[in-house]
Amino acid sequence: MIKIISFILCIGFLSLHSYAQTTAIPDPNFEQKLITMGIDSDGIVNGQILNSDAAAATAINLDHLNISSLSGIAAFSNLTYLSCLGNNLTAIDLSNNTALTHLNCSYNQLTSLDVSNNPKLDGLSCHHNQLRPI
pLDDT tens sequence across 79-115: 999 999 999 999 999 999 999 999 999 999 999 999 9
Q: Tell which residue, 109, 116, 104, 105, has the closest CA to residue 131.
A: 109
In a domain, 68, yes or no: yes
60-72, pLDDT tens digit by residue? 999 999 999 999 9
In a domain, 48, yes or no: yes
Instruction: For 64, list phi and psi in degrees, rounded to 5.
Output: 55, 55
In a domain, 10, yes or no: no
Q: Tell which residue, 36, 102, 96, 98, has the closest CA to residue 67.
A: 36
Spatial separation of the C-alpha atoms in residues 102 and 121, rounded to whole Å: 6
pTM of model > 0.75: yes
In a domain, 33, yes or no: yes
Query: How many C-beta atoms lie closer than 10 Å to residue 47's C-beta?
Result: 14
Beta bridge partners of 48: 24
In a domain, 113, yes or no: yes
Domain hosting 87: range is 24-125
Spatial neighbors of 11 by CB under 8 A, at least 6 apart, are none
In a domain, 37, yes or no: yes
In a domain, 18, yes or no: no
Domain of 89: which CATH number? 3.80.10.10
The count of domains in the chain is 1
Spatial separation of the C-alpha atoms in residues 27 and 99, rounded to whole Å: 23
